[in-house]
Structure 1
């Protein structure tokens, strides 16, 4: 009888006695992950005290875990602190059969026909924002992109204009998101503890719950399709012909709202400053937008904005808004011969994989041409993971890419953005998101009237 092959050994970087790499983890998660990738190669590990954390930096191993062994892992403890805020039934906390069933039920909400209905809102609100910016005005880009994407997500989710309507819901959403940020940047305190911050967060959550419950009741009395995500979710039926329950709708709405507007705002913020630093790329994007002939961009124009899409993809390669994917083994398993113990945490950092010169030569260089179709086809799929991979691929990835393209194209029809000399933009980490530090750009208005589109 042939002896079984011995398991491979996962290399581990050096660390301090007792605490391991805890100090490095606190100082800079990005630098720690890059160190593991640089010193260990495709797979390595580090320690936080006695806990060993595995890091995968290979497309092959990422594919094996995220696709081939998807059922052997779940989301683990990272992110569980958010359960009281977004709900236990949120798609991001589900695995296995429940996760597959929810994705199946949600798929119609993200069908291209449904996405196309959102385009006018995206374009119109961008036009309104851009029209209000004066020539020479300095914009806080992260703030402005966040306000814009929040307004768009409010319209596409609830058919609510957060600039003029539902002030209580808007404020509650802002409080909830601020609380998420605080929990991400400090030692999390259970929401049940009676601190002033927690009381404010609990009140905001109650407001969100009441608002969504009222919306659901109103929509069920009036079955008109308002072309928003709420209408789409209320039309969903399970195999027995029953609608999904209110708590499930609430979980999906809050998840899509919080994740959907933030990640797009971050992608836009990273991309604008990259464009400003590469005038030849900026000029080519501007030329592509101008080729629309002044027409407000819509769903049908997305194929004509192919270079802009390459620019956005390259921006997400260098600055993936979700810089690491966290999974935990639910049983003992081997990934391409490497042993992973039950309960062990595995991190798959797109930030590192995207910098692997095997997949992306001269990886620190901003080069949108990497995403020309022939180049994309030549790389392993899991070498590019801005939206994850496998069963947990972001269900809103097409929505996010479409929104980013339309916002940038619409803004460029009205104005240019200049980065002042010496303006520094540095990466900041909160939980698993990668954010640019606050920075400003100068508005330079273009001649002519902006094209107009109507929001239904």
Structure 2
């Protein structure tokens, strides 16, 4: 049977080039390539590049053209020297709003300088965030079932959101409501923006209003408790380059986004990590040996050095199963990409999820091989961890995600070793494929089970 991706390139199309750059064939009426770009996004983009080259136009809803720039020239655009992120504020006012993601230049630098401290490795330790994360991870892993098949993603989604909210100082008793409303808010990432009853846009806006109201109350309470552990109190004490504190509106806009980015991405990586280990007993045994030999879960940068194999698995899972497939920029001036002139104002998609599959960067890219991260004399390069973005908009929560996933891998291996168990895919469960809707997660129907080691 012919796949949708192959059929895409056989559908008729009128205009074939714009500004000397090929337009990807096969766009559907009204929705363009949007439907093909949802789901198996990385395969779509890689196949498109094989057909059209590293620079090509895609059509969106309403026949709007967006340029896709593959490879290192695309990654260079993330440095925002000749591009801007401010268009996001207009395109997604309810979902992204006036946050770090949609600011550039001095406004972005001031906001980021005020927010970055608590999210550095030292900041995570001194604020108590790393210790809080370890406590939540251990409790969640201890609650995983010993018998029967279950969806690991369901557990890691709850775990990751609990970590973020506990780090912010939210009481355990309220976590259920926060989880429920965040699941609604995330619908705002979908490309369909029609505001109709029960539509994703309407549900997302309702969730955002609930979250913003609770964030406002949380900030007010935290201002009265300067000794409260976690990142929120650290953010309240932070100052930007001009010595100014963060206002409530800045805090709300960015806390909402940090919680979104911080839990969806981590939940996905943790779930994929468990699924990979369920298919690779050899990797499980190496992780088990390292984890049992350690005195406990890492809670500081020094502790992380005792877990090189857990970190290597984290990085390899992130490379092959990136939770974010792409990002975008707008050209501030006329550019030249791959020898072609790109006009000022052009919307450019940078497919950050595809860099992990580049054979020039990672030999035999389809092979899952944690050893490629071991024994390195230097830390991963910027493009090695491109799924966290690049340039001034590199993900603020990178170090928290790194700490949290290594904690999860270690706790998972230690707990199951204590029970004399190991994971495997549940009978009848086929190896899952990476799909984006809107984040890259394994299907919830992908179940694992614990068996005797």
- Using structure 2 for the length normalisation, give the TM-score: 0.84
Unpaired runs of 5+ residues, structure 1, are 1-7, 447-456
- The residue aligned with 1:348 is 350
User: Quick check: 1:187 aligned with 2:192?
Assistant: yes
Cα distance in structure 1, aligned partners of 2:296 and 2:393: 37
Cα distance in structure 2, aligned partners of 1:427 and 1:27: 8
CA contact (8 A) 1:36 1:55 kept: no
1:249-289 deviation digits (Å, cap 9, x = unpaired): 11121111111111100011111111222222221111111
Q: Secondary structure at the match of 2:192?
A: coil
- How far residue 200 of structure 1 moved from its aligned partner, in angstroms, is 5.9
- The residue aligned with 2:140 is 129
CA contact (8 A) 1:331 1:342 kept: yes
Cα distance in structure 2, aligned partners of 1:285 and 1:177: 32
Count of equivalent residues: 424
- The residue aligned with 1:396 is 397
User: Quick check: 1:428 aligned with 2:435?
Assistant: yes
Equivalent residue runs for 1:235-250 within 5 Å: 235-250=237-252
CA contact (8 A) 2:212 2:256 kept: no
- The residue aligned with 1:304 is 306
- How far residue 53 of structure 1 moved from its aligned partner, in angstroms, is 2.6
User: 412, 417, 424: which is aligned to 1:418?
Assistant: 424
User: 163, 166, 184: which is aligned to 2:174?
Assistant: 166
User: 427, 442, 446: which is aligned to 2:449?
Assistant: 442
Equivalent residue runs for 1:7-22 within 5 Å: 9-15=20-26, 21=33
CA contact (8 A) 2:85 2:104 kept: yes
- The residue aligned with 1:109 is 118
Q: Secondary structure at the match of 1:136?
A: coil
- Using structure 1 for the length normalisation, give the TM-score: 0.83
CA contact (8 A) 2:40 2:435 kept: no
CA contact (8 A) 1:64 1:335 kept: no
- The residue aligned with 1:3 is none
- The residue aligned with 1:30 is 42
Q: 1:28 to 1:343 in 2, by over 3 A?
A: farther
RMSD: 3.0
Q: 1:38 to 1:384 in 2, by over 3 A?
A: farther
Q: 1:37 to 1:232 in 2, by over 3 A?
A: same
Cα distance in structure 2, aligned partners of 1:400 and 1:275: 19
Equivalent residue runs for 1:53-452 within 5 Å: 53-59=66-72, 61-67=73-79, 69-74=80-85, 76=87, 80-81=91-92, 83-85=93-95, 88-116=97-125, 117-157=128-168, 159-162=169-172, 165-166=173-174, 170-181=176-187, 183-185=188-190, 187-190=192-195, 202-224=205-227, 226-292=228-294, 294-299=295-300, 300-335=302-337, 337-374=339-376, 381-415=382-416, 416-424=422-430, 425-431=432-438, 433-438=439-444, 439-444=446-451
CA contact (8 A) 1:172 1:204 kept: no
- How far residue 308 of structure 1 moved from its aligned partner, in angstroms, is 1.2
- How far residue 334 of structure 1 moved from its aligned partner, in angstroms, is 2.2
CA contact (8 A) 1:36 1:46 kept: no
1:123-149 deviation digits (Å, cap 9, x = unpaired): 222222222334224221111001111
- The residue aligned with 2:15 is none
CA contact (8 A) 1:91 1:102 kept: yes
Q: 1:238 to 1:76 in 2, by over 3 A?
A: closer
Q: Secondary structure at the match of 2:222?
A: helix
Cα distance in structure 1, aligned partners of 2:279 and 2:149: 17
Cα distance in structure 2, aligned partners of 1:336 and 1:198: 37
CA contact (8 A) 2:184 2:207 kept: no
- How far residue 22 of structure 1 moved from its aligned partner, in angstroms, is 5.2
1:28-50 deviation digits (Å, cap 9, x = unpaired): 43332111222344333333474
CA contact (8 A) 1:154 1:257 kept: yes
CA contact (8 A) 1:57 1:348 kept: yes
Q: Secondary structure at the match of 2:345?
A: coil
User: Quick check: 1:52 aligned with 2:65?
Assistant: yes
- The residue aligned with 2:419 is none
